[in-house]
Copies of this chain bind each other. A is one copy, B any other.
Amino acid sequence: MPSVSIGEIVDFIDGRYAGNRDRMISAVAPLADANDGQLSFLSNRKYSAQLTLSKAGAILVPQNLEGEDDRWIRVDDPYFAIARIMTKWFGARPMPKGISAQASIAPSAKLGTNVAIGPFTTIGEDVVIGDNTTIFQNVSIEAGSNIGDDCIVYPSVVIYDGTHIGRRCIIHAGVVIGSDGYGFAMHDGKHHKIPQIGIVRIEDDVEIGAGTTIDRAALGETVIGEGTKIDNLVQIGHNVKIGKHCLLVSQVGIAGSTELGDHVFVAGQSGFSGHLKIGNRVQVAAKSAVLEDVPDDTKVMGSPAMPFTEFARRQAALKRLAKKKSL
């Protein structure tokens, strides 16, 4: 269990604090559960009532919060501050160490310094693994793939041949990257496979949630842009291009060749048909079906998706109509 003084924490996040700097903190906990050896935080003001009741030893709060408490550490953004603190001191997790003798590693694979590989993992020919990257057990990394520095690949991930993965990526258990796209030519009443010979390229700082599948391009590349975070059980079709710093919440599906701009937010269970252009900073509400291009800075909702205001107007009109007719 880590143990850090409040003073060290305050200095690290550049906080304002008038209390006892020598008190030790051993964990982070929610306001309602924290004890006096734990740090907590207020990121949403609707929980302000819990502040006085909380038994936390120290609490991150916004700079301009009204009131006074010598346990408070004032910062610009408590949520970002707690992320930094947890990452630095309280986020450690048991990880494989060293190269397991029970892994199957091709002689031509190149492993960086301080790489860890768990048992029952297969590393194919000409694979390149960057420094400080950790690969858990039962992972498959097929021939010719490369993975950058400081990545974590959790158990039972499958990475097909020729995949490129950047630095500081986190890939959760059961993810499949580089599987064949869904491409068939109909001839004489039968579907004939179009071999999928492109690749997947994942840029730096991408996180991919458990069970997500990302298909390789038919030709060329499927791309996940830098800093994009993908939740669990998301499906990315062949030749899709996702921009930088996007958020794709769980069970989203994106059909082949659709392109998303930067900073796009897609809520859970939404889908996109193929060959669309989705602009920058577009927001898609949950369970929407996006069937047309969407320009920059637009919020859409519904199945088929339409601008928020139009969706709301239709819902309201239908509600009134239903009331009237039922009289």
Using a CB–CB cutoff of 8 Å, the interface residues on chain A facing chain B are 28-30, 33, 77, 79-80, 82-84, 86-87, 90-91, 93-94, 100, 102, 104, 118-120, 122, 124-125, 136-138, 140, 142-144, 154-156, 158, 160-161, 170, 172-174, 176, 179-180, 182, 184-187, 189-195, 197, 205, 207, 209-211, 213, 215, 219-220, 227, 229, 231-233, 235, 237, 245, 247, 249-251, 253, 255, 263, 267-269, 271, 273, 286-287, 289, 291, 303-304, 310, 313-322, 324-326
Contact = CB atoms under 8 A, between A and B. Distances in A.
Classify the secondary structure of A's interface with B.
loop
Most B CB atoms within 10 A — which of A189, A195, A313, A324? A195
A-B complex: 7 closest residue pairs judged by Cβ atoms: A91-B195, A158-B173, A94-B143, A179-B210, A140-B155, A176-B210, A86-B195
A174 B83 contact: no
B194 A207 contact: no
B125 A136 contact: no
A177 to B, nearest CB: 9
Given A318-B314, A325-B317, A197 B251 contact: no
Nearest to A323: B313
A195 B235 contact: no
Contacts of A122: 118-120, 137-138, 155
Nearest to A155: B140
Contacts of A315: 304
Copies of this chain present in the complex amount to 3
A193 B83 contact: yes
A254 B299 CA distance: 22
Given A93-B160, A235-B251, A314-B321, 20 more contacts: A28-B219, A30-B219, A83-B184, A91-B195, A102-B104, A118-B122, A138-B140, A138-B156, A158-B173, A172-B180, A174-B211, A179-B210, A189-B245, A190-B245, A191-B247, A209-B215, A249-B255, A304-B315, A316-B322, A318-B321
